[in-house]
Structure 1
């Protein structure tokens, strides 16, 4: 419980830092809702273990929980166990914490509840992550060689750059009340990736969907149960109303 409490506190601190860094100047794109798409969630899990878990842990998620999204234990063992050989282990990163702090300035945050912790920054947590992962650009003035429109001066490099390629943001000067500001207008692709822009957006949508699911694996079951509970309550309400009317019909 102490570890979970400390993780929540750290996440809240990172949220505050992210909100301050973004300053609310970059509008968030709406993330596609893939929480009920098992194929998308499976692809998101594959992207997570291939591109994220090298630095980021998901210390409160066990590999065998991936059976909830339609994967068999054999598929998990053969394709997703990169940091352990036990399917019952949690999804911990193998990165050394001291080295991570030297490289990035801080330890990469745990991603188990990242989608939930990023809510309230101008959209849902999924919207934030979806926009964040699609707005990296080359910036040689930064230690990692990368910057981000949603989180300026972020210490994280662009882990998915080989898929997306390299882009340059285009800004336009805008004067208002005697002040000149730079307004983002679009992107210029400077180097192609292995995916087209549409394919990359789909892949990021899958990854974000998985991060959203990982934050609360039981949420689909909770929603289904909630619907049946509401139907049951509606039925019992009607039944109780009919019984009450029948009981008092002869009373004057």
Structure 2
């Protein structure tokens, strides 16, 4: 029994870690829907246009991605491949890692499993909480990941926002500033609701990439559960038939 409890604790620990978010900032719930193929398609478009200049998806193939989210090979080639890659190749970017490390200090990570390692709520909050900070190299900081080295690549869509702090005093009179909300100071090409929807699409796509087989697994799992339920009834009736003379 003790070993079982330890096993459950270990399984729950990663989820608890992810739920805490970056540096204690509260995470927003990501309203993802992996059955929404239109959202997945829009998320794929956002990724190749805004993220793939630096980040790659080295464990995801273009043709597999297209098939899963409802696109033909021709649609993928015409709309989602800008690196000269072939339809059966993995989604690598064209930036040499050595150059990326020299330019940014560290090579931007592959994002194939970022939704599993960080959690979709973290990604959703991260993309929503960039704000102006003149002390940072790219002029922005992030509430979910303070002092992140990544620029706000979606700023043209969201615009720029500034943080609004709330001051709290303790019993000794010491003041502490707590980030409360954000104020939009430079509008982007999207309204705030539109930008949230775009971030939802992008995170939805990354959630799919993190485990492309999950929808198929869920579909098969339903049939497995139904089979086990039917088998239980059959086995129970057989058990009663075999043991009726004994009782």
Shorter-chain TM-score tier? 0.7 to 0.9
Structure 1 stretches lacking a partner, 5+ long: 1-17, 119-124
The match for 1:221 is: 216
Q: Contact conserved, 1:83 with 1:93, CA < 8 A, in 2?
A: yes
**Alpha carbons of structure 1 residues 161 and 95: separation in structure 2 relative to 1, 3 Å:** same
- Out of 234, 241, 247, the position equivalent to 2:236 is 241
CA–CA distance in structure 2, aligned partners of residues 47 and 93 of structure 1: 14
Q: Contact conserved, 1:83 with 1:91, CA < 8 A, in 2?
A: no
CA–CA distance in structure 1, aligned partners of residues 170 and 198 of structure 2: 38
The match for 1:89 is: 89
The match for 1:55 is: 54
Q: C-alpha deviations, 1:112-150, integer Å up to 9, x for none?
A: 0000011xxxxxx00000000000012121111111001
Structure 2 stretches lacking a partner, 5+ long: 1-17
Shift of 1:85: 3.5
CA–CA distance in structure 1, aligned partners of residues 120 and 83 of structure 2: 26
With 94-103 and 151-160 compared, the bigger mean Cα shift is at 94-103
CA–CA distance in structure 2, aligned partners of residues 149 and 35 of structure 1: 27
1:119-134 to 2 correspondence within 5 Å? 125-134=119-128
TM-score normalised by length of structure 1: 0.86
CA–CA distance in structure 2, aligned partners of residues 19 and 101 of structure 1: 30
Question: Please, what is the CA RMSD of the aligned residues?
Answer: 1.8
Q: Does 1:207 align with 2:202?
A: yes
TM-score normalised by length of structure 2: 0.88
CA–CA distance in structure 2, aligned partners of residues 185 and 221 of structure 1: 41
Q: C-alpha deviations, 1:14-72, integer Å up to 9, x for none?
A: xxxx9999322x10000012211100001000000000000001111111112111000
Q: How many residues align?
A: 228
Shift of 1:90: 0.8
CA–CA distance in structure 2, aligned partners of residues 21 and 116 of structure 1: 13
Q: Does 1:168 align with 2:167?
A: no
Q: Does 1:68 align with 2:68?
A: yes
CA–CA distance in structure 2, aligned partners of residues 228 and 88 of structure 1: 31
